[in-house]
A and B are shown apart, each in its own frame.
Chain A
Amino acid sequence: MLDAYRWMVVARVTDERCLSLQRQGRIGFYAPLSGQEAAQVGAALAMQEEDWFFPAYRELAVALVRGIPLRSIFDQLVGNSLDVSKGRQMPNHFGFRDKNIVVPSSPIGTQITHAVGAAMAARRRHDPIATIAFFGDGATSSNDFHAGLNFAGVFGTPTIFLCQNNQWAISLPREKQTRSATLAEKSNAYGFPGVVVDGNDLNAVYRAVSEARARAVRGEGPTLIEAQVYRFGPHSTSDDPHRYRSDAEVAAARERDPIQRLARGLVQAGVLEAGAEKAIWETARGDVARAFEAAEGAPAVDALSLFDDVFETRTPQLEAQRSGFAAGAGSGGGTP
Chain B
Amino acid sequence: MTEMTLVQAVNRGLEEAMRQDPDVLLLGEDIGVNGGVFRATEGLFKQFGADRVIDTPLSETGIVGTAIGMALYGLKPVAEIQFLDFIYPAFDQIVSELAKFRYRSGGQYPCPVTIRAPYGGGIKGGLYHSQSTEAYFCHTAGLKVAIPSTPADAKGLLLTAIHDPDPVIFLEPKRIYRSVTGEVPDGDHRVPFGRARLVREGNDVSVFAYGAMVAPATEAAEALAAEGLSTEVIDLRSLVPLDEEAVVASVEKTGRAVVVHEAARTCGFGAELSAILAEKAFFSLRAPIARVTGYDTPFPYALENAYLPNAEKIVHAVRATMKAA
Chain B: interface size category:
35 or more
A315 contacts B241, C-beta separation under 8 Å: yes
**Cα distance A308–B54 when bound, in Å?**
34
A105 contacts B69, C-beta separation under 8 Å: no
**Cα distance A311–B106 when bound, in Å?**
11
Q: A187 on the interface (CB 8 Å rule)? A: no
Interface string of B256-269 (1 = CB under 8 A from A): 00000000000000
Q: B75 on the interface (CB 8 Å rule)? A: yes
Q: Which residues of B lie under 8 Å from residue A110 when comparing CB positions?
A: 65, 92-93, 96-97
Q: Which residues of B lie under 8 Å from residue A336 when comparing CB positions?
A: 279-280, 282
B69 contacts A118, C-beta separation under 8 Å: yes
Q: How many residues of A contact B (CB 8 A)?
A: 51
Q: Which residues of B lie under 8 Å from residue A154 when comparing CB positions?
A: 56-57
Q: A84-B106, A311-B144 are in contact. Are A118 and B93 (CB under 8 A)?
A: no
Q: A166 on the interface (CB 8 Å rule)? A: no
Q: Which residues of B lie under 8 Å from residue A95 when comparing CB positions?
A: 105, 108-109
Q: Which of A303-320 contact B (CB under 8 A)?
A: 308-312, 315-317
Q: A73 on the interface (CB 8 Å rule)? A: no
Q: A128 on the interface (CB 8 Å rule)? A: no
B72 contacts A120, C-beta separation under 8 Å: no
Q: A93 on the interface (CB 8 Å rule)? A: yes
Q: Whole-angstrom distance from the CB of A50 to the nearest CB of chain B?
A: 12
Q: Nearest residue in A to B105 (C-beta to C-beta)?
A: A103
A309 contacts B62, C-beta separation under 8 Å: no
Q: A283 on the interface (CB 8 Å rule)? A: no
Q: Which of A180-223 contact B (CB under 8 A)?
A: none
B165 contacts A117, C-beta separation under 8 Å: no
The residue from A102, A124, A147, A315 contacting B240, defined by CB atoms under 8 A apart: A315
Q: Nearest residue in B to A319 (C-beta to C-beta)?
A: B241
Q: B102 on the interface (CB 8 Å rule)? A: yes
Q: Which residues of B lie under 8 Å from residue A122 when comparing CB positions?
A: 73
Q: Which residues of B lie under 8 Å from residue A93 when comparing CB positions?
A: 104
Q: Nearest residue in A to B240 (C-beta to C-beta)?
A: A315
Q: B120 on the interface (CB 8 Å rule)? A: no
Q: Which residues of B lie under 8 Å from residue A89 when comparing CB positions?
A: 104
Q: Nearest residue in B to A159 (C-beta to C-beta)?
A: B69
The residue from B51, B62, B104, B142 contacting A113, defined by CB atoms under 8 A apart: B62
Other A-B pairs beyond A84-B108, A103-B101, 18, CB < 8 Å:
A54-B69, A95-B108, A102-B109, A105-B104, A110-B65, A120-B54, A124-B25, A151-B57, A154-B56, A311-B142, A311-B166, A312-B110, A312-B165, A316-B244, A317-B242, A334-B280, A335-B279, A336-B279
- A interface vs B, CB < 8 Å? 52, 54, 83-86, 88-89, 93, 95-97, 102-103, 105-107, 110, 112-122, 124-125, 131, 143-144, 146-148, 150-151, 154, 308-312, 315-317, 334-336
A-B contact pairs, 25 of them (CB 8 A): A84-B105, A84-B106, A96-B108, A107-B96, A113-B68, A113-B69, A114-B65, A114-B69, A116-B69, A117-B69, A117-B71, A117-B73, A119-B69, A122-B73, A124-B70, A143-B92, A144-B61, A144-B93, A147-B61, A148-B66, A151-B56, A151-B66, A154-B56, A335-B280, A336-B282
